[in-house]
Structure 1
């Protein structure tokens, strides 16, 4: 089967060793109709007056991109923008300057399976036919065995993270009002030092009481506010490698077993969701955000830890009821 040509925006900062792995997985999948753009963040943050990355690291990232994607185009910021502003300029370039009708956004910590772009193309076809779909991603179930994936080939599910996601221009435009409210709260700050309380207050005013304050969270809220879904596959087509970065820690990476993802060996034939299924997913997604939100994999992980703790206390006979599991921060 053929696929559509894709506009692909790649966001990079200070992890050239990760970026190389991502580009190594991307390059063999590219078609002449694809266009790739690197949005490279800078090292010096003029707001906090902190050097976030060395010029040599920035140069290594851009050189890696030029070498592996020779037909691509790099936009290198002279200053450190932070992930939110870097995403913003990428989206505005793609959807305003290029007037692209759809685009795929990749960061430097998701290695793609050989079928990632094919599956993304198929998902975008579904999104174009179903305007209630805000984002799609082909990463799929990062923890499913191959046997589990075979039994659920073609099926979709709600996304958790926004990793490797694609969207239509129509979806981006629908989200803009909420995304602009978020931008006004962070645009004059170093993103790392954003005012979490003000952001959470904004989300509460919109009807969603969550503890997250990230730019990704603003996408979830913007989607929920416009009754837009975020969907991915049940088959796995990527591996998350962000052991070290803005938010990840090595222990967390190990606990969630991100390195153990099993890729599905072919391009699945996706099934178009029914209207009833889309409506049910939309209701579920909004319920998750109304009274707090945790990613599905975090909930599963915490449930497993709680069961292990209960079993340990039961075997040792320390007490009839174990203490509650500590909250994730």
Structure 2
């Protein structure tokens, strides 16, 4: 198996000069990493129209790169391609033009601890023919796990979070790429930063997803799921994030995500454990939130995934691996139309069963099945729902017959359209729309800039003032599924009546939400969702301190 390392960089020379030595000092089977992996550096061209780009840093990084690899292994773009097209260039250079079988992709903001490449190398060999594994990493979602727990879990796997320090085989890249090519063809005329988010969202929906992002990372995650594969990491951590400042991160976000409390495993195993089927299925379902329909049959080590017709898009054939002799001139047909599929979902398909139960709902809430079932069970006992983030949950609550539904939403037009749908299924429900102006918003109600940051704390708190001033029904169920989730959770736990159920979606796969457990312990979990109960008493002063601190964190 021919293997390479691709170091991807732009203008952060100070990070780059820390990360690259951590890679070059790695060993594989007791020999220098360069004996087992050919090392390349790829630098995107400078973006002249971007005021945040650092021209001096870009030039310094170019000079530094020439010290680390020979000129023939250094690729510096003359023009700025943007993240998505730059990665596409790298993947085609290494997988197609140079025919490498496996590539480890390293960006300039993750320092590799000793043993990182050795572990990746062992995983690459172990999972080379395993259809369940799409991407591999030794940098798990939660990097704050104690050293003791990491040592106890040396033989366990968990979910990848960020696509940092990840390995990808050419075989899987070929399976995944047709869907990615379609995405690239959509954004190519616009560029990555000006990509047409609405068009991409509609395209993802047509592919069977409920998208909450349009980034190239997210699309590749969707393409991986569509193959019935997971992005797996070791439970132990060998990556040290250092990118406190960059395109997608600021120092306060870096700290909130726990990266300033990263724990490195004190040792690594000498061989990698098998990926047990139940562990794979747990990881897959943990990552399957964007899927509208889960596969009817997940792959084993020797099988392929089978999706329902709604997901596969009709009749299906076994995927064929493309020949690497040339770069495809146009996107091949979608390879997920895999093995033959039955004409209808099996009776035990939970998501299909739920959809059949509520046929009037065009789109169920964007949740995995376990969380959705938990929400339905709680809605059936609720008289008053307060939801942070309107949408499918609003219509579902109305359909079930919840008497009062109070919806906090940063996109007033979307909220109005949602309530129109909710009234169609239940004209008797009392719908209390509570739009909150947080300035201009983009996809999923996220602020597009910080021009109205002084208004952001109102998102979590203003609805409670309204509940009291207008003598509205007191919620017995709160759903945390919108923006500013930590502050909304803390406000609800402090201000709701004792015994109120609070459901916090996406809690378990986003470590920066776990600040909640400074104050409260969850009582149950359902996939990524955590369930809390408002206690009789709590330390309001301590809660308000964190609530204010997180009231401008849009996640």
1:119/1:314 CA distance change after superposition, 3 Å:
same
Alignment partner, residue 440 of structure 2: none
User: Is residue 136 of structure 1 aligned with residue 136 of structure 2?
Assistant: yes
Partner Cα separation in structure 2 for residue 96 and residue 56 of structure 1: 33
**Unmatched tracts of structure 1, length 5 or more:** none
1:216/1:28 CA distance change after superposition, 3 Å:
same
Aligned residues: 319
Q: How does 1:1-329 map to 2 (within 5 A)?
A: 6-29=3-26, 30-44=33-47, 49-50=49-50, 53=53, 55-69=55-69, 73-140=73-140, 141-268=142-269, 269-287=271-289, 289-290=291-292, 291=366, 299-305=510-516, 308=519, 314-316=538-540, 328-329=554-555
The TM-score, its normalising length taken from structure 2, stands at 0.53
Find the residue that maps to 1:39 and give its secondary structure.
Answer: strand
Q: Deviations over 1:204-238 (max 9, x none)?
A: 22222131111000111101111111000011101
Deviation at 1:172, TM superposition (A): 0.3
Partner Cα separation in structure 1 for residue 279 and residue 143 of structure 2: 22
- Contact 1:8 1:37 (8 Å CA) reproduced: yes
**Which stretch has the larger CA shift, 130-139 or 296-305?**
296-305
Find the residue that maps to 1:154 and give its secondary structure.
Answer: coil
- Contact 2:103 2:169 (8 Å CA) reproduced: yes
**Unmatched tracts of structure 2, length 5 or more:** 27-32, 293-365, 369-504, 521-533
Partner Cα separation in structure 2 for residue 161 and residue 70 of structure 1: 29
- Contact 1:143 1:262 (8 Å CA) reproduced: yes
- Contact 2:138 2:239 (8 Å CA) reproduced: yes
Q: Deviations over 1:261-306 (max 9, x none)?
A: 1211323232111234324433442246442598766634324337
1:34/1:173 CA distance change after superposition, 3 Å:
same
Find the residue that maps to 1:7 and give its secondary structure.
Answer: strand
Partner Cα separation in structure 1 for residue 108 and residue 122 of structure 2: 23
- Contact 2:150 2:236 (8 Å CA) reproduced: yes
Partner Cα separation in structure 1 for residue 253 and residue 113 of structure 2: 23
1:54/1:239 CA distance change after superposition, 3 Å:
closer
Q: Deviations over 1:103-154 (max 9, x none)?
A: 1111111110011100110111222131221100111341111111111112
Partner Cα separation in structure 1 for residue 93 and residue 261 of structure 2: 35
- Contact 2:3 2:100 (8 Å CA) reproduced: no
Partner Cα separation in structure 2 for residue 15 and residue 27 of structure 1: 18
- Contact 2:18 2:111 (8 Å CA) reproduced: yes
Partner Cα separation in structure 2 for residue 107 and residue 312 of structure 1: 48
Q: Deviations over 1:136-195 (max 9, x none)?
A: 011134111111111111211121111111111111011112101211121122311212
Q: Deviations over 1:35-56 (max 9, x none)?
A: 11111111135xxx55764554
1:72/1:236 CA distance change after superposition, 3 Å:
farther
Which structure has the bigger radius of gyration? 2
The TM-score, its normalising length taken from structure 1, stands at 0.87
- Contact 2:210 2:291 (8 Å CA) reproduced: yes
Partner Cα separation in structure 2 for residue 57 and residue 287 of structure 1: 38
Find the residue that maps to 2:538 and give its secondary structure.
Answer: helix
1:187/1:296 CA distance change after superposition, 3 Å:
farther
- Contact 2:6 2:39 (8 Å CA) reproduced: yes
RMSD: 2.9
Partner Cα separation in structure 2 for residue 265 and residue 278 of structure 1: 25
The answer to which structure, 1 or 2, has the higher relative contact order (CA under 8 A, 6+ apart) is: 1
Find the residue that maps to 2:8 and give its secondary structure.
Answer: strand
**Which stretch has the larger CA shift, 252-261 or 225-234?**
252-261
1:75/1:311 CA distance change after superposition, 3 Å:
farther
Partner Cα separation in structure 2 for residue 72 and residue 114 of structure 1: 27
- Contact 2:507 2:514 (8 Å CA) reproduced: no
Runs (4+) off by over 6 Å: 293-297, 309-313
